[in-house]
Structure 1
């Protein structure tokens, strides 16, 4: 259960606050549990790189996933260590990477001041938004009824959302529609980075499964999925036009407005089948 749905035993993930709750004509003074949001400063080889606002849990997963999806490293083997230090104003995540990768990073280094998981905030040059990527090359397919199974089960793997109602989640789904791994965060991009970081550490095959996210499918979510070689991205909310164009160009199957009994397939529908091995007409 630990790998599927991270335990909330880690400190500072939630906070109890005094609130006034209104129900009809009733006024009640009570307590509410809210999700914590903390500045997370990631540095590489001692050089500050980015500050993100994120949920202060699974930060090693976050650092590794961010490093992979941003192209800072090409594989988890190029990350030598991750050290986490709690500071008065936030959390410092010190990542030590291969010297050759750091030399490349240093040549294009930027300092970002991100909002909650904002993948664009602070980008200095427009060209940096769109990273060079390869087309997705996987024959993995997911039967429609198995997709529905995952959509029905995902609520069971969101403990932080159940407590606070303020977080997103990203899930790794196998060919039978089973949720194999889940990560949560106040930011949708952060949740996806945490998922990919956990997958990389546990040697998951990115080409043999699907990603399910509780958010909309923005271009960043599509871009991160393509970067990791994932073939299917399923979003609970809708995609943007840019996300659809990017998914179409790089051969990603993009599914939006996903509920247990209804979905919209935007690109490359051949990976979603009526049953195992039978393509939708």
Structure 2
């Protein structure tokens, strides 16, 4: 099994000259998603928690509707990458064809390789109204606690984390990856394996809130996303339509709330 962190020699150049250094760097590893013998996507990931990633990706991209659609699964390691092999119930053949991806997806873009613009902006299921309500303290605690559950980031300063938090209970689970979309897929897969309903809490992200993160949350019914960085305008519009609460700029003593703010006890001020 490939290690997620590799020590790499380099030369550090500064005002006082050059010196040899050894840096802990995150590995990137290709993972092929194979359904009933046909490869549908190849994603570059951190090479850990790959079974969680494969299940989460399959759920959020619509290849499967639930774990019940999976007849069998195996993770096969090769010298140059891994294959996540799924065998699905016959009824899923149409969904697999619809969400086919034609090329490798780099970690920087969760939508790369999609065959059509219609699939990139596909209609999303609406998250049920109501659900968990987070206090000001809940939000800040979740973000603060996430920082303490990032061992790969501590070593490399080059990976993202996705956590799942519940009101009054804090973080329940965390996953890391070089790609923010992959980290969320890993988390969703792990939640599914543990029998934890995403509708009972919030996804907590170390990254900006972009369209594909909202899409993935909607696909599994998570009603709240919390992030330390900004949302895109498109992500806010998408969240509004899907019934998802977005909490952004969660750092220090405050945060902003965009879309469906009733799930947050302290709303955002109107800022320029």
Would the TM-score normalized by the shorter structure come out above 0.5? Answer: yes
The 1-side partners of 2:157 and 2:99 are apart by: 38
Name 1:81's counterpart in structure 2. Answer: 72
The 2-side partners of 1:44 and 1:263 are apart by: 41
Name 2:33's counterpart in structure 1. Answer: 42
DSSP-derived class of the 2:62 partner: coil
Question: What is the deviation of 1:177?
Answer: 5.0
The 2-side partners of 1:109 and 1:144 are apart by: 41
Q: Gaps spanning 5+ residues in structure 2: where? A: none
Question: What is the deviation of 1:134?
Answer: 2.1
- Bigger shift: 155-164 or 24-33? 24-33
225, 231, 235: which one aligns with 1:233: 225
1:109-157 C-alpha deviation (Å, 9 max, x unpaired)? 3423211152221222110112332211142101111111111111111
State the superposition RMSD in angstroms: 1.8
The 2-side partners of 1:173 and 1:23 are apart by: 42
The answer to whether the aligner puts 1:174 opposite 2:174 as a matched pair is no
Question: What is the deviation of 1:100?
Answer: 1.1
Does structure 1 conserve the Cα–Cα contact (< 8 Å) formed by 2:255 and 2:268?
no
Question: What is the deviation of 1:280?
Answer: 7.7
Name 2:153's counterpart in structure 1. Answer: 161
Q: Label 1:210 to 1:29 Cα distance change in 2 as closer, same or farther (>3 A).
A: same
3, 24, 29: which one aligns with 1:12: 3
Name 1:183's counterpart in structure 2. Answer: 175
Q: How many residues align?
A: 268
The 2-side partners of 1:124 and 1:200 are apart by: 28
Name 1:33's counterpart in structure 2. Answer: 24
Q: Label 1:108 to 1:270 Cα distance change in 2 as closer, same or farther (>3 A).
A: closer
DSSP-derived class of the 1:116 partner: coil
Does structure 2 conserve the Cα–Cα contact (< 8 Å) formed by 1:44 and 1:102?
no
Does structure 2 conserve the Cα–Cα contact (< 8 Å) formed by 1:35 and 1:55?
yes
The 1-side partners of 2:34 and 2:25 are apart by: 28
TM-score w.r.t. length of structure 1: 0.90
Q: Label 1:54 to 1:213 Cα distance change in 2 as closer, same or farther (>3 A).
A: same
The 1-side partners of 2:98 and 2:125 are apart by: 22
Q: Which runs of 4+ in 1 moved over 3 A?
A: 106-110
DSSP-derived class of the 2:106 partner: strand
The 2-side partners of 1:268 and 1:99 are apart by: 38
229, 243, 247: which one aligns with 1:255: 247
The 2-side partners of 1:100 and 1:179 are apart by: 36
The 2-side partners of 1:252 and 1:147 are apart by: 15
Name 1:93's counterpart in structure 2. Answer: 84
Question: What is the deviation of 1:260?
Answer: 3.5
